[in-house]
Each structure stands twice: as C-alpha cells, then as structure tokens.
Chains A and B, each alone.
Chain A
Amino acid sequence: MTAPTRWAIDPSLPIYEQIWRTLAGAIARGEIAPGEALPSVRDLAVQLGVNVNTVQKAYRTLESARLAQSRPGQGTFAQADAAAIARHRERQIDESVARLLEDLETWGVGADAAADTVARFVRNGGSTGGTAR
C-alpha cells in the first residue's frame, strides 16, 4: 500500500509516536483494511526520511496495541482486533476532550461548566454566544 495519508514529520514531537499514531488512526478508522500490508519498514523510513529503527519502534508499538501483526518474512499487517480498536478510539477521544478542557480553562470556563458550554454550542448551531441573557 501507499501511506494512508500523506503526512509530514513534525520534528518537535517524538517521531515514532507520530508514525504509530497516524497508522493506528488509519487502522482504527478502517482506512487501512484489516489484513492489509503496511509499508515495509525500509520503504516507510525512506519515504518519510526518518531512521529505520524509529519506524521499527513505531511498528512494535502498533503490535503491542494489537493494531498490527508482524508475520516473519512477510511484513507487518493491519489487524482488526475490535477491543484494541475500541481502546485506541477511547484513548484518542480522551485526549481530544483533555485538550478541549485545557483550552477552555484558559478562557475561564472550568471543567464543571464545559459540558453546558458544549451543549449550548451545539444547540445554537455553532456558537456559545449570548452569555448574558
């Protein structure tokens, strides 16, 4: 396969994490079909211009998250382990919510008020406006 999404490496974040998270996302969303071969470690390293051992580490992380499986002599393949995908999805959602809460906090919206703020945003079709009613 070609890489599911073209992505550029951000040198300010751990590179192996960017690789495994991008692939994990693509596998969890079904963009890489279960059983489909991931690029070889070498090909992906060359394509991204990164170290082979870094890609290796990303693949090992994918395997221990049960989102991929390596078959000796054949390569690494996407795995459709429903529980693993659910865990990954949950973790991503947790991180998104944590980021949102952190950001709202800087605007004086505490965690206790966050749910109401989000509900109002959805109800008003994309605005939390009219705080003074």
Chain B
Amino acid sequence: MTVEVEHVSVRYDAVTALDDMSLTVAPGQVVGILGINGAGKSSLLRAIAGVGRVSSGTIRVDGKADRTALRAACAFAPDSGGVYPIAAERTGRLFGDVWPGFDVAAFEGWLDRLQVPRGRPGTTLSRGQAARLRLATVLSRPGDVLLLDEPLGGIDPASRDRIAEALALHLAETGRTTLVATHEVTEVEPLLERVVVIEDGRVAWDEEADALRARTGRSVDLWLRRRA
C-alpha cells in the first residue's frame, strides 16, 4: 500500500514536531526513518498510524485519509509500552479476543522465535525482552503497513540481532510496506532500501540505500555518524 504524507505539520503548543513534511512510500518499500531523538520520527509514525496529532496537511494510506482507515491499514509498534502485568502468552490470547484479525498462532510462533519468556508478567520483563514482545505483537497484527518506532532502542546486541533476523523473515514473507524509525542503524541497515533523514521536523535527506553506499563508499550507519 502506498503511504502519502502531504505537507504535514504537527505542532504542540510552542513546539513544531513536523514542519510541512512530504514523503511518499511505495508499496512494499522498506524505509529507514533516521535522525536524532526529537527530530520528529515518532510524530511522523504516530501520525501515519492514525494515533497522533496532525495540525495541518494530509496523510493517505492506499488513498484513504480518515483516521479509522489509517488505523486499520497500519500495524504500529510504539517505542515503549505494550507490556501488561500478565504473561506474554496470555497477552496474545487477549489480543486475539479483542483485536479483529490478530493472529494468535503467529504470535505464539514469534514468541518462540524471539525467545520471549513465557509465564512471566510482561511488566517484569527486561528492556530487551519487552522490545521483543512488542515486535511479536506488531508482527501478528493485521495491516499492510508496518510502522516500527525504535525497535532496537537501548537494548542488548543479542536482542537486536534476534529482532533484525525476525524482521528479515517477516518482511520476506509478507512484503509489507515498512517504516522503521531508528537512530541505531547497524542491525537493520541491510533491510533498508531507502533512508530518509529527519531533522527539525523536515526531510533533510532521502536516498536509496545502495545509491548512498555507491556514492559515499560508506555504510549508511557510518555516513549518518559522520553527518551528525
């Protein structure tokens, strides 16, 4: 599904999180939304997911702009939360009951593959375990557009590798249009076709990842570090 962001601004009182941003993502494309904390990455993902504020401008997914349609089309994983004081496997059954189209069997499979401990309340999980649980949840949700906010944020290298592997498998199987907001690129870099750098709520750079490598002789990760 095509994602179209047209002249979108997001303002909170004195703060402008997104400033007249425009961006189009083609169906099946996997895009890295890169930038430092506070650049506007989360505001962009939340706006596309139909859960965040949009002060002006239009967002369309598959041509539809109303928030209900956005919510139905997008599987969104925020950068925190998504854990509850019940065991992970019970979370899945609960989502299956209340969330139309949630795939409980797929969720069970992802819990195993991502090695999320069972039988322990979600709230007692480590940061890395909670991040893997959030990923298991979002990968089992319906929606043709996958939106991941900092899926690797501040977690251990082993968890990051596991997340990158799971994501590679999921994307190869589903071909979902995907936006990954992250400031840590290393593990997901090979999965990204295109990189969009956001600075001060605007698109500061937008290029195919392989074109960037050919042009600079550097990895996206290193290029980004040098740029900062």
Please report A residues at the B interface, Cβ cutoff 8 Å: 9, 11-17, 42-43, 45-46, 48-54
Does A50 lie within 8 Å of B168, measured CB to CB?
yes
Please report B residues at the A interface, Cβ cutoff 8 Å: 28-30, 164-165, 168-169, 171-173, 175, 186, 189-193, 209-211, 213-214, 217-222
Does B172 lie within 8 Å of A9, measured CB to CB?
no
Residue in A12, A14, A15, A49 whose beta carbon sits within 8 Å of that of B164 in the complex: A49
If over half of B's interface residues share one DSSP class (helix, strand or loop), that class is named, otherwise mixed; here it is helix
Task: Tell whether A15 pairs with B190 under 8 Å between CB atoms, given A49-B164, A50-B168, A52-B171.
Answer: yes
Does B165 lie within 8 Å of A51, measured CB to CB?
no
Residues of B within 8 A of A43 (CB): 172
Closest beta carbon of chain B to A18's beta carbon, Å: 10
Residues of A within 8 A of B190 (CB): 9, 11, 15, 48-51, 54
Residues of B within 8 A of A54 (CB): 190, 193, 210
Residues of B within 8 A of A16 (CB): 210
Does B28 lie within 8 Å of A11, measured CB to CB?
no
Q: Bound state CA distance, A45 and B214, in angstroms? A: 20
Q: Bound state CA distance, A85 and B189, in angstroms? A: 32
Residues of B within 8 A of A42 (CB): 172-173
The 3 closest A-B pairs by CB, nearest first: A11-B219, A14-B210, A50-B190
Task: Tell whether A15 pairs with B168 under 8 Å between CB atoms, given A48-B190, A49-B191, A53-B28.
Answer: no
Does A51 lie within 8 Å of B171, measured CB to CB?
yes
Q: Bound state CA distance, A15 and B173, in angstroms? A: 20
Does A51 lie within 8 Å of B30, measured CB to CB?
yes
Residue of A nearest to B212 (CB): A14
Residue in B164, B165, B213, B214 whose beta carbon sits within 8 Å of that of A11 in the complex: B213
Q: Bound state CA distance, A67 and B177, in angstroms? A: 31
Task: Tell whether A45 pairs with B219 under 8 Å between CB atoms, given A14-B210, A15-B190, A53-B29.
Answer: no
Q: What are 7 A-B contacts with C-beta separation under 8 Å?
A: A11-B213, A11-B221, A15-B213, A42-B173, A50-B190, A51-B192, A53-B193
Q: Bound state CA distance, A17 and B220, in angstroms? A: 16
Does B214 lie within 8 Å of A50, measured CB to CB?
no
Residues of A within 8 A of B28 (CB): 52-53
Q: Which of B29, B30, B169, B213 has the most C-beta atoms of chain A within 10 angstroms of its own C-beta?
A: B213
Residue in A14, A45, A50, A52 whose beta carbon sits within 8 Å of that of B213 in the complex: A14
Does A12 lie within 8 Å of B213, measured CB to CB?
yes
Closest beta carbon of chain B to A41's beta carbon, Å: 8
Does A46 lie within 8 Å of B210, measured CB to CB?
no
Residue in A13, A14, A17, A51 whose beta carbon sits within 8 Å of that of B191 in the complex: A51
Q: Bound state CA distance, A16 and B209, in angstroms? A: 10
Residue in B193, B211, B218 whose beta carbon sits within 8 Å of that of A12 in the complex: B218
